[in-house]
Amino acid sequence: MIRPATISTLGPLRARPIPISSSLRHLSTTSRVTSQPHTRLSSNFFLSHTRPSPRAPPLGAKRSASFQFPAFPPRSFAAQYPITSLCARLVFSSILGLGLLTGVILLHDAFTYSERHVDRVPTNALALQPRKGGKKNLPILEVNLDDEEDEVKRDMKGKPRLVIVGGGWGAVALIQSLPPAAYNVTLISPQTYFAFTPLLPSACVGTVEVRSLVEPLRKLIARVRGHFLMGSAMDLDMAERLVEVEVPSDQGEGTMRCYVPYDKLIIAVGSTSNSHGVKGLEHCFQLKTIPDAQAIRRRVMTNLELAALPTTTPAERERLLSFVISGGGPTGVEFAAELVDMMAEDVLKYYPKLLESQVQVHVIQSRDHILNTYSEKISEYAEKKFARNDVTVWTNTRVQEVTPDKVIVTVKDPKDRDAKAVTKEIPAGFVLWSTGIAMQPFTKRLVDILPNQYHSKAVEVDSFLRVQGAPKGTVYALGDAATVHVGLTTELMALWEKFDVNRDEKIDFSEWESMAKYIRKQHPLASQHFEKIRDLFEQYDKDKDEKLSLNEMAEMFMALEKKVTSYPATAQVAAQQGGYLGHMFSKLAKQHKVLRANDMPDLDDEAYHSPFNYHHLGSLAYIGNSAAFDYNGWSFAGGLIAMYAWRSVYWSEQTSMRTRVLLMIDWIKRGIFGRDLSKF
């Protein structure tokens, strides 16, 4: 039946057909539409093959015999069942799309296999047989095995040598912000990969796999055409600019030492755990590295299997299932949360129920609250969550000793500070030690050989991250290994000279204003203490002569220096510092040709760059199927949505798409199949 030419519109307008104008009709091209004018157009919204084509020939033009794909589903079916037809089309196009994608991936994969061979690689003789020298007459690795490989590498030989010691957060951020091929970069690290530490607690129980948290350093350094050297820095010869490195020898059985020359050395060796002088730490696990996470996972699974044996005595079972975590900071809390998740989600399902009911998780914290660097609200939220999950939180408690089967602690009464601490024993089948940081051996060595180094946990650097006491512009340190020191008292005389403009041996208010402005700019870490300059001036102008004497000034600087707290030992700080140095060196690289032409080896960093300024982007913590965020006094803690937000942040922070994909797969895998409970 041929209906009048109309376009049906949806809704109320349906009742009032709109006649198609003659010009619209001209847009119809197919013979069918021409022979059955506009009927299909008006009758079926879903029949796209009957929709007018924008490339339609004008009326009267000769129709060419063009090829048409067969319609799917057939037109008669589509006309009868428009919705089913649309669904069928969607399914068909999805299958087609997936098929095409798989085809492209397979094709790409096929092209990645190659049988390329390299013959006669040009190599410098000095790379194969390094000359010996330096104070200890060790081989000096001046030339790399790949220096003659291609034009770019040959060109790199003349570039300033940038040696980075360490392959963690700080080092990787630095590499990622350096311009490609501007420096002859060498990265030295005993590990061949960068590890994403914030997710290490998840790897301890198999929520994610360790392979999803690592990125090979060689891949990261390739961007700047740099070199990787597997080894550990041991010592430093600052006069000859040589860093002494221990590398494996005798097929990895032994070690040997060599020198790596540098123009600029960046120390990014991170930190180790602080023992706080506690006895028996050899019975504890640490959580700093990938092998640490693997060892913990092995021990957790071993304890569960041993506890599941009918031959295990009840007392031994109780001990095996007692997990003690010393340290109520983010690492300790996140590990405890992951452990509890695992017990509730997987152990309950696949092990005798008795085990889950006997598992005890203890978190020991020396302060009043866990997560004490976060807001009070978050600490309370975490404590309440742990109480609900039967995690025992021991606050105001210190570990005195760890033995193979127990932890001895002393507990203080927070209400009665004078009361004697009570000693208690906690049976333990597993102890995690995560209480603060200490120096790596290389950092310790550096602090020993340098003057003006007084910090007990890190090497002191100035606001440009230059190691104090080392020749200026040659040695930098960042991340956990470094602490920014604001040496106001040591700078006092220089500041006095600069700002006592009228030379009256006093600093009046206008001179003080300029001085405070300068200090705020040069020492961002201390800037908040130099904001109320009128108050400071009046507070330390003891004789009320409206001027500050040298003694008054010294007193003020000593008091303010004590108030300055260093940046926290976090990945966020390390990454920002790495990025800062990368930016600074990029700027310097642009001047390199001019400097070399003028026979100037280097520039003072102050001359071309501003000091390091940290921007806190907030803190995150996972607390067992929920998460907490803290940002400049604003805090938020919550359930699944917060947890997904927490995951998204870490997902976006990954160094590569590869680890992003792996992480996503791990999270989905855990959701569908649960954690892998195998023990290797």
What residues line the site for ligand FAD (CB under 6 A)? 165-171, 188-191, 197-198, 200-201, 232-233, 268-270, 287-288, 330-331, 440, 442, 479-481, 569-572, 574, 620
Smallest separation (angstroms) from ligand FAD to the CB of 455: 15
500 binds, among Mg ion, ligand FAD, none (CB under 5 to 8 A by kind): Mg ion
461 binds, among Mg ion, ligand FAD, none (CB under 5 to 8 A by kind): none
621 closest CA partner among 331, 372, 362 = 331
Nearer to Mg ion, 540 or 580 (CB): 540
Separation of alpha carbons 2 and 323, rounded Å: 81
Q: Is 506 in the site for Mg ion (CB under 5 A)?
A: yes
Of 263, 356, 500, 653, which one interacts with Mg ion (CB under 5 A)? Answer: 500
570 binds, among ligand FAD, Mg ion, none (CB under 5 to 8 A by kind): ligand FAD
Separation of alpha carbons 326 and 489, rounded Å: 38
Separation of alpha carbons 332 and 394, rounded Å: 13
Stretch that binds Mg ion, among 115-123, 184-192, 501-509, 616-624 (CB under 5 A): 501-509
371 closest CA partner among 330, 432, 337 = 330
288 binds, among Mg ion, ligand FAD, none (CB under 5 to 8 A by kind): ligand FAD
506 binds, among ligand FAD, Mg ion, none (CB under 5 to 8 A by kind): Mg ion
504 binds, among Mg ion, ligand FAD, none (CB under 5 to 8 A by kind): Mg ion
Total residues at the site for Mg ion (CB under 5 A)? 4
Taking the mean position of all CA atoms in its chain, how far away is CA 603?
A: 31
Say if residues 235 and 138 touch (Cβ distance below 8 Å): no
140 binds, among Mg ion, ligand FAD, none (CB under 5 to 8 A by kind): none
679 closest CA partner among 205, 197, 282 = 205
Stretch that binds Mg ion, among 58-66, 421-429, 495-503, 586-594 (CB under 5 A): 495-503
Nearer to ligand FAD, 351 or 667 (CB): 667
3-state secondary structure of 507: strand
226 binds, among Mg ion, ligand FAD, none (CB under 5 to 8 A by kind): none
269 binds, among Mg ion, ligand FAD, none (CB under 5 to 8 A by kind): ligand FAD
480 binds, among Mg ion, ligand FAD, none (CB under 5 to 8 A by kind): ligand FAD
DSSP-assigned letter for residue 582 = H
Separation of alpha carbons 368 and 233, rounded Å: 39
Stretch that binds Mg ion, among 46-54, 411-419, 498-506, 533-541 (CB under 5 A): 498-506
Q: Given its phi and psi angles, is residue 46 left (phi above 0), alpha (psi -120 to 50 degrees) or beta?
A: alpha
Separation of alpha carbons 566 and 649, rounded Å: 25
Stretch that binds Mg ion, among 28-36, 121-129, 287-295, 505-513 (CB under 5 A): 505-513
Q: What is the 3-state secondary structure (H, E, C) of 612-671?
A: CCCCCCCEEEECCCCEEEEECCEEEEECHHHHHHHHHHHHHCCCCHHHHHHHHHHHHHHH
295 binds, among Mg ion, ligand FAD, none (CB under 5 to 8 A by kind): none
3-state secondary structure of 251: helix
Smallest separation (angstroms) from ligand FAD to the CB of 487: 22
Nearer to Mg ion, 504 or 543 (CB): 504
Smallest separation (angstroms) from Mg ion to the CB of 470: 34
Nearer to Mg ion, 155 or 504 (CB): 504
Say if residues 45 and 85 touch (Cβ distance below 8 Å): no
Nearer to Mg ion, 171 or 548 (CB): 548
Taking the mean position of all CA atoms in its chain, how far away is CA 354?
A: 39
Q: Are strands 271-273 and 437-439 parallel, antiparallel or unpaired?
A: antiparallel
Smallest separation (angstroms) from Mg ion to the CB of 169: 45
Residue 103, both tokens: 């085809």
What is 403-435 written as a DSSP string? -SSEEEEEE--TT-TTSPPEEEEEE-SEEEE--
270 binds, among Mg ion, ligand FAD, none (CB under 5 to 8 A by kind): ligand FAD
Nearer to Mg ion, 53 or 551 (CB): 551
Smallest separation (angstroms) from ligand FAD to the CB of 680: 21
Residue 428, both tokens: 């333990």
Q: Is 504 in the site for Mg ion (CB under 5 A)?
A: yes
Smallest separation (angstroms) from Mg ion to the CB of 503: 7
Smallest separation (angstroms) from Mg ion to the CB of 508: 5
Nearer to Mg ion, 504 or 531 (CB): 504
Q: Which residue is nearest to ligand FAD (CB)?
A: 168
Nearer to ligand FAD, 78 or 269 (CB): 269
164 closest CA partner among 475, 462, 469 = 475
Residues 118-147 close enough to bind Mg ion by CB under 5 A: none
Q: Tell me how long the chain is.
A: 680
Separation of alpha carbons 669 and 654, rounded Å: 19
Smallest separation (angstroms) from Mg ion to the CB of 375: 44
Q: Given its phi and psi angles, is residue 132 left (phi above 0), alpha (psi -120 to 50 degrees) or beta?
A: beta
Smallest separation (angstroms) from ligand FAD to the CB of 434: 7
479 binds, among Mg ion, ligand FAD, none (CB under 5 to 8 A by kind): ligand FAD
Nearer to ligand FAD, 307 or 363 (CB): 363
Q: Which residues contact 392 (CB under 8 A, 6 or more apart)?
A: 360, 361, 362, 363
328 binds, among ligand FAD, Mg ion, none (CB under 5 to 8 A by kind): none
Nearer to ligand FAD, 287 or 407 (CB): 287
Smallest separation (angstroms) from ligand FAD to the CB of 605: 20
Stretch that binds Mg ion, among 308-316, 410-418, 497-505, 559-567 (CB under 5 A): 497-505
At 613, the amino acid letter reads: N
Say if residues 433 and 286 touch (Cβ distance below 8 Å): yes
Stretch that binds Mg ion, among 331-339, 400-408, 496-504, 656-664 (CB under 5 A): 496-504
403 binds, among ligand FAD, Mg ion, none (CB under 5 to 8 A by kind): none
Smallest separation (angstroms) from Mg ion to the CB of 540: 15
Nearer to ligand FAD, 285 or 530 (CB): 285
Q: To which H or E segment does residue 331 belong? A: helix 330-342
Nearer to ligand FAD, 479 or 624 (CB): 479
- CA 253, 259, 264, 268: dihedral to nearest 10 degrees? 20
C-beta contacts of 514-523 below 8 A and 24+ residues apart? 519/488, 519/495, 521/610, 521/611, 522/463, 522/611, 523/463, 523/486, 523/488, 523/611
Nearer to Mg ion, 275 or 502 (CB): 502
* Beta bridge mates, 460: 483
Say if residues 627 and 640 touch (Cβ distance below 8 Å): no
538 binds, among ligand FAD, Mg ion, none (CB under 5 to 8 A by kind): none
Nearer to ligand FAD, 44 or 202 (CB): 202
* Beta bridge mates, 258: 245
By the criterion CB under 5 A, which residues form the site for Mg ion?
500, 502, 504, 506
